[in-house]
Amino acid sequence: MSYVIKGETGDWEVVIGLEVHCQVISNAKLFSGAATDFGAEPNTQVSLVDAAMPGMLPVINQECVKQAIKTGLGLKAEINTKSVFARKNYFYADLPQGYQISQFEEPIVGEGSIILDLPDGTSREVGIERLHLEQDAGKSLHDQDPKRTFIDLNRTGVALMEIVSKPDMRSPDDAGAYLRKLRSIVRYLETCDGNMDQGSMRCDVNVSVRPAGSDELRTRAETKNVNSVRFVMQAIEHEAARQVEVYENGGEVVQETRLFDAQTGTTRSMRSKEHAHDYRYFPDPDLLPLVFDQALVDDIKAGLPELPDERKDRYINDFGLSPYDAGVLVAEKDTAAYFEAVADGHDAKMAANWVINNIFAVLSDKGVGISECPVTAENLGKLLGLISDDTVSTKIAKEVFEIMIETGDDPEKIVEEKGLKQITDTGAIEAAVDEAIANGAAQVEQYKAGNEKVLGWFVGQVMKATQGKANPGQVNKLLKEKLGG
Amino acid sequence: MSLDKDTVKNIAYLARIRVDEAQLEPLAGELSSILDWIEQLQELDTDGVEPMASVAAMDLPQRKDVVTDGNCQTAVLKNAPDGEDGFYTVPKVVE
């Protein structure tokens, strides 16, 4: 499924690389002892180190190092037991140091890969170029005052992992799948909460275009700080179309930083000064190289949880689920746990169908996450049990499910109270069948004349007479015996 | 290696240091002689010699992940020329 932009001069393809900044989950900041909690009063989580007072020295937080290693392992990447912190120099009001401590030539994590689960059920691999640790900047509020910008340094110095992909993506769908998978992995690992709307995961999008089938890499434009999966996909669509137009009008794409406008779904040039990219990196003289033993890496590796890809394989191999269904269920850790609780002791395929078709509909209806689902996994499991042992038909089960959504009740109790138990007593069904046949002389004629579709009419009559509680299999069997005889 | 006036001007701009036009030429000369000296150092054969990050033979000190600092809004804002409601305020930064 390739993504092609139809230009006037021919077909074009898009080349995409993403740089994702993930805020590391830790109590304290990367180089200071100040707290990292989101939403605190302005400048209350700022130490003299974060405020860049003269003479303050950075001391690295070992937990942030471990989180970066853990994430690197989750991306099947090589871990560098020696890495170096460098200063990236630029001036901005929310960067009191005048430089960001980052990693440049020697990052903590090298090349890795990530597997995308695409909307059509197929998978493809995208390369990871590197992951490095760096400081976050503070927050600028531009809309508080007509003449002034307000600065909050609470976020200053919080650890970020910048994860850089290779330019391996070829469509907005690829980019969307990449972000979703990356978010899923960091959430499984508990190294980043992955909340794009709170800014704890932010994305810079690099886009270039080229004639379809070519393997050149043309000049790219970078769109900064796009804060949702949908916006990233929109930004790529718009940016690719814009670049095709530039080339087809005889122009050249310039390497620049662009801004995404969520209102219009378009990107625009930041008209940044020509100097903007001259960061003059050099090794930070305040920090020695970060060196650790391979034993630390092995230790963290041994403690890794089951990751989404492995879990997906397990669902396919052990439960016989389709790759698509398995991918959908493992994407969120909580959903996977819910599904496994439902499937425990029941048919896994049936459990998967109920979770994907019914539970997801309820959640999107109510606009809640799986943790607030009105139907508990235990109760859904019980409902599946009632279907499996023929206590209720699938049709009645759907009715019971509707009640469960409203009341959160135990399905066994609902079936008991509402008298929804399926009729499997042959005598009772036979009576209803006989009655239907007696009332439908015309239909009996049609059936005998070879119109088998009319059987549905009889089934309907029997179901009506039994309030839908007759076992459909038995009804069909009896009807065929009696009519065919 | 020698630096020209424009390069010096650019470096000064990047460092946000105001340099008078008349000073650019002399500065170019001074900076060039520093670079010449570095060039002289590069004549040394350092093949197979590990880069030295520090004169002290020690590892990078590390901290435990414990909140030990912060919560000193008044102190961090004390030297700010302007502020409001716990924020620093600066002349509007327009993007």
Q: How many Å separate Cα A136 from the centre of its chain? A: 23
Average pLDDT, chain A: 92
How many angstroms separate the CA atoms of A86 and A225, rounded? 22
How many angstroms separate the CA atoms of A189 and A24, rounded? 11
Burial of A19 (0-12, 13-18, 19+ CB in 10 A): middle
How many angstroms separate the CA atoms of A321 and A314, rounded? 9
| Main-chain phi, psi angles of A411, to 5 degrees | -60, -30
How many angstroms separate the CA atoms of A150 and B89, rounded? 5
Do A104 and A174 have their domain in common?
Answer: yes
Helix (H, G, I), strand (E, B) or coil at A35: strand
pLDDT band for A439, please (50, 70, 90 cuts): confident
Do A244 and A168 have their domain in common?
Answer: yes
ipTM metric: 0.92
For residues A53-74, give the mean pLDDT. 97
Least confident among A93-97, A328-332, A415-419, B72-76: A415-419
Residue A140's DSSP bridge partners are: A151
Pairing of strands A159-165, A5-6: unpaired
Q: What pLDDT is stored for residue A461 in this prediction?
A: 85
Task: Please count the other Cβ atoms lying within 10 Å of the Cβ belonging to residue A217.
Answer: 11
Tokens encoding A71: 């994430």
DSSP-assigned letters across all residues of A298-310 = HHHHHTPPPPHHH
Residue with tokens 């912190």: A85
Give how many domains chain A has, as a whole number: 3
Helix (H, G, I), strand (E, B) or coil at A124: strand
Do A364 and A432 have their domain in common?
Answer: no
Q: Is A276 on the interface with B (CB under 8 A)?
A: no
How many angstroms separate the CA atoms of A397 and A387, rounded? 7
Least confident among A1-15, A50-64, A77-91, A190-204: A1-15
Q: What pLDDT is stored for residue A455 in this prediction?
A: 84
Do A166 and A271 have their domain in common?
Answer: yes
Helix (H, G, I), strand (E, B) or coil at A433: helix
How many angstroms separate the CA atoms of A386 and A227, rounded? 45
Task: Please determine, for residue B95, whether its predicted confidence score (pLDDT) is greater than 80.
Answer: no
Q: Is A6 on the interface with B (CB under 8 A)?
A: no
Q: What pLDDT is stored for residue A352 in this prediction?
A: 96
- Domain span at residue A220? 5-300
- Among A33, A41, A152, beta carbon nearest to B63: A33
Q: What pLDDT is stored for residue A61 in this prediction?
A: 98
For residues A371-392, give the mean pLDDT. 91
> Which of A43, A59, A133, A274 to probe the B interface (max B CBs under 10 A)?
A43
Beta strands in A136-214 (DSSP E): 139-141, 148-152, 159-165, 201-211
Residues of B in contact with A288 (CB under 8 A): 53-54, 58-60
Do A411 and A441 have their domain in common?
Answer: no
Q: What pLDDT is stored for residue A441 in this prediction?
A: 80
Least confident among A126-130, A235-239, A471-475: A471-475
Residue type, A28: A
For residues A467-476, give the mean pLDDT. 81
Best CA proximity match to A126, nearest among A113, A135, A136: A113
Angle at A189 between CA A184 and CA A194, to 5 degrees: 45
For residues A195-209, give the mean pLDDT. 94
Task: Please determine, for residue A60, whether its predicted confidence score (pLDDT) is greater than 80.
Answer: yes
Task: Please determine, for residue A453, whether its predicted confidence score (pLDDT) is greater than 60.
Answer: yes
Task: Please determine, for residue A199, whether its predicted confidence score (pLDDT) is greater than 80.
Answer: yes
Q: What pLDDT is stored for residue A437 in this prediction?
A: 85
Best CA proximity match to A341, nearest among A307, A310, A361, A370: A370
Do A395 and A452 have their domain in common?
Answer: no
Helix (H, G, I), strand (E, B) or coil at A332: coil
pLDDT in tens, A306-348: 999 999 999 999 999 999 999 999 999 999 999 999 999 999 9
Ranges of each domain in chain B: 5-41
**A residues 40..79 contacting B (CB < 8 A):** 41-51, 53, 59-65
A474 or B67: which leads in pLDDT: B67
H/E element holding A135? strand A123-135
Do A73 and A159 have their domain in common?
Answer: yes
Q: What pLDDT is stored for residue A373 in this prediction?
A: 93
pLDDT band for A271, please (50, 70, 90 cuts): low
Do A431 and A413 have their domain in common?
Answer: no
Residue A150's DSSP bridge partners are: A141, B89
Do A203 and A323 have their domain in common?
Answer: no
Pairing of strands A99-103, A85-89: antiparallel
B14 and A48 within 8 Å at the Cβ level: the answer is: no
Do A475 and A388 have their domain in common?
Answer: no
pLDDT band for A277, please (50, 70, 90 cuts): low
Contacts 24+ apart (CB under 8 A), A443-449: A444/A483, A447/A483, A448/A483
Residues of B in contact with A152 (CB under 8 A): 86-88
Q: How many Å separate Cα A13 from the centre of its chain? A: 25
pLDDT band for B50, please (50, 70, 90 cuts): confident
B86 and A41 within 8 Å at the Cβ level: the answer is: yes
CB A283 within 8 A of CB A290: no
How many angstroms separate the CA atoms of A37 and A52, rounded? 20
Task: Please determine, for residue B10, whether its predicted confidence score (pLDDT) is greater than 70.
Answer: yes
pLDDT band for A217, please (50, 70, 90 cuts): very high
Residue with tokens 């609902």: A414
Task: Please count the other Cβ atoms lying within 10 Å of the Cβ belonging to residue B61.
Answer: 11
How many angstroms separate the CA atoms of B49 and A295, rounded? 26
pLDDT in tens, A134-190: 999 999 999 999 999 999 999 999 999 999 999 999 999 999 999 999 999 999 999
Do A412 and A432 have their domain in common?
Answer: no
Task: Please determine, for residue A274, whether its predicted confidence score (pLDDT) is greater than 70.
Answer: no
